[in-house]
Amino acid sequence: MYDGWKIILGLIVFVIIVTLPFTMSIGKTYVQPKPSIDTPEIQKMEKKQCIEEKQYMREMHIKILYSWKDYATREGKRVYVASDGKKYNVSLQNTCMKCHSNKEKFCDECHNYVNVKPYCWDCHIEPKVGGVK
């Protein structure tokens, strides 16, 4: 093999870079994000359920919010009919955040963990717990 050492060195560097995400997390403890639903509004509820099933909300909340924006501003449709027939106002500030009034312990918990930075709060006003900016 001509220039064998170069190839092997290259391969070693390649393997190190590829496995970096794994090797870098050695020794770090995995902290599972635990979004809290402990707010006065949710505590008052008899059946602690969001507009839809928990798993569905986990997976789809951003798509729901994204389409809500279009429904409300573009089509003037502002009543969401949940699969159980209950009706909700299509509004992040006036529906979602009325119950989830703990943005820092609910939204940010997972968003920080996966390092996503949704820009909702540039405009939408977060509930007063953490203080309005």
Partner 1 sequence: MITRRDFLKIAAFSSLLGLGGAFTINALEKEPGQKVLKDLNALKGKRWAMVIDTRKFKTELDFEKVIKACHKAHNVPEIANPLHEVKWIWTDDYEHSFTGTAEEYISEEVKHRKFLLLCNHCGNPPCVRVCPVKATFKRPDGITMQDMHRCIGCKFCMAGCPYGARNYNFLPPRDYIKELNPEYPTRTLGVVEKCTFCNQRIDKGLLPYCVEASEGKIIFGDLYDPNSEIRKVLAENIVIRRKVELGTQPMVFYII
Candidates 35, 37, 49, 60: give the one binding partner 1 (CB under 8 A). Answer: 60
Candidates 35, 42, 53, 71: give the one binding partner 1 (CB under 8 A). Answer: 71
H-helix or E-strand spanning residue 72: helix 54-75
Distance of alpha carbon 91 from alpha carbon 93, whole angstroms: 6
Residue 14 or 56 having the CB closest to partner 1: 56
Contact segment (CB under 8 A) with partner 1 among 5-13, 21-29, 67-75, 107-115 equals 67-75
Read off φ and ψ for residue 56, nearest 5 degrees.
-65, -45
Residue 5 or 119 having the CB closest to partner 1: 119
Residue 104 in the binding site for partner 1 (CB under 8 A) = no
Candidates 94, 104, 118, 129: give the one binding partner 1 (CB under 8 A). Answer: 94
Distance of alpha carbon 53 from alpha carbon 61, whole angstroms: 11
Candidates 25, 54, 70, 129: give the one binding partner 1 (CB under 8 A). Answer: 70
Which tokens go with 18? 């590829």
* Contact in structure between 45 and 39 (CB atoms under 8 Å): no
* Contact in structure between 103 and 109 (CB atoms under 8 Å): no
Three-state secondary structure call for residue 50: coil
Q: Which stretches of the chain bind partner 1, using CB under 8 A?
A: 60, 63-64, 66-81, 90, 93-94, 119, 122-125, 127-128, 132-133
